[in-house]
Structure 1
Amino acid sequence: MVKQERAARTRESLVHAAAEVFAEEGFAAASIAEISQRAGVTSGALHFHFDGKTSLALAVEQRAERALRRAAAAEEERGSDGGPLRVLVGATYTMLALLAEDVAVRAAFALCADAARSSPVDLRGQWWMWAEELLVAAERAGLLAEGVSPQDATRLVVASTVGLEGLGGVEPGRSARQLLTRIWTVVLPGIASGEAAAAVLVEAIPGKETD
């Protein structure tokens, strides 16, 4: 039991260290030596637990995927009374917080955009599908603006939010949350009916940091 707990802690340290290095340097530039050093283990110990960078990257992505699923479930429960648009807007703030606070999520989004590798875990693709599901539900509920399809709305929302990890460094003096609020203030009235957009802007955004 003690050996199992020690092994689990070592794997945890390696995944966390790998996430830090991938987030800072990208997959191609990351080295096994640096990951091992940050985790406080030898390269031999790393190879005992992982085959190499590819398996470490996959472990980081899987951890991030679990974190996002937990966050999505919590957001759906929290925002269910406000409808699918409320859930969608709330989810973007939750994702922004995860990107700031969880290095595995931050690294995983960078990894899935890295042309140097391919992975079975596609967090950006999962975000697209979840956003589309919510917007299809919004259409069924009569919440989308006239002439706006869920697919068109998904393209706009994903294009507006897929770079969330970079928000905050774009406009000096503005936080990422402020910039996200500005995005929704512009985007939401374009995809939702007037009444639905107004309700979500009032319900979902107050309490979050604004200008």
Structure 2
Amino acid sequence: MTQERALKTRASLLAVAATEFAVHSYAAASISKILDDSACTKGAMYFHFTSKQQLAGAVCDVAAEVYSAIAVRWCPATGMDPLDAITGLVDDAAQAFVAEVAVRAETRLGFEPEFRDRNPLRAWEAAALDLAKRAVESSLLREGFTAEKFVRVLSVSLVGNRLLALSSGLPATIRRDYTESLDMVLAAAGKP
């Protein structure tokens, strides 16, 4: 297999597998359907991935790359109001959920026992925490509302939005829903 062809085969397998995992979950995802939809042979799949679990893990890695790129874009956002940077971080995550099937798949895979420890959102959450700490240092959050609490409440709310979006067929309202979640957390954490 040539290098270019191998890269195309791997990319095709990842894209189709991400769709399968996003729609059907890990347990219900069918390797046969992934192979049919990607037009890849079983041998080609096993050249790249030794198992369905490794394939799903690679999909999580793609989602982690997306979230890492968002984190790099917004943190460190020196000279920018940290709450404005958090708004950008949240909006980019909403856009990624719509645009990147691996991000949608990661949402579903994250609830599977095999993938609970992977946390593709690690870089995104670290960026949000860094920005929230800057907000605390700048006295932009209510006293007693820690950066950790801010990020924890925001993250849980966004996970809920992603799960609702998956269960309802990816509504076009995800960006609005993310914005509303951020607005509620900001209202709770903001200075009176």
Picking from 136, 157, 160, the partner of 1:160 is 157
Letter in 1 for 2:149: D
Task: Give the equivalent residue in structure 2 for 1:38.
Answer: 37
Task: Give the equivalent residue in structure 2 for 1:144.
Answer: 141
**Structure 1 regions of 5+ residues with no counterpart?**
195-211
Alpha-carbon offset, residue 146 of structure 1: 2.1
Deviations 1:107-142 (A, max 9, x none): 122211223x13652124554443322212211222
Does residue 104 of structure 1 match 2:102? yes
Say if 1:74 and 1:124 are closer, same or farther in 2 by CA, change over 3 A.
closer
**8 Å CA contact retained: 2:97, 2:104:** yes
- SS of aligned partner of 2:139: coil
Task: Give the equivalent residue in structure 1 for 2:14.
Answer: 15
TM-score under structure 2 normalisation? 0.86
**Structure 2 regions of 5+ residues with no counterpart?**
none
Alpha-carbon offset, residue 167 of structure 1: 5.0
Deviations 1:175-204 (A, max 9, x none): 22222333233321221225xxxxxxxxxx
Alpha-carbon offset, residue 174 of structure 1: 7.7
Q: In the comparison of the two structures, how many residue pairs are matched? A: 189
Tell me which structure has the larger Cα radius of gyration.
Answer: 1
Cα RMSD, aligned residues only = 2.4
Task: Give the equivalent residue in structure 2 for 1:193.
Answer: 191
**Moved segments of 4+, more than 4 Å:** 124-127, 167-170
**8 Å CA contact retained: 1:124, 1:162:** no
Once the two structures are aligned, what percentage of the paired residues are identical? 30
Task: Give the equivalent residue in structure 2 for 1:207.
Answer: none
Q: Which aligned pairs between 1:87-102 and structure 2 lie closer than 5 A?
A: 87-102=85-100
Letter in 2 for 1:107: A
TM-score under structure 1 normalisation? 0.79
Of residues 10-19 and 147-156 in structure 1, the stretch that sits farther from structure 2 once superposed is 147-156
Alpha-carbon offset, residue 39 of structure 1: 0.8
| Structure 2 Cα separation of the partners of residues 157 and 92 of structure 1 | 9
| Structure 2 Cα separation of the partners of residues 163 and 154 of structure 1 | 14
Task: Give the equivalent residue in structure 1 for 2:54.
Answer: 55
Letter in 1 for 2:99: E
| Structure 1 Cα separation of the partners of residues 172 and 15 of structure 2 | 29
Task: Give the equivalent residue in structure 2 for 1:69.
Answer: 68
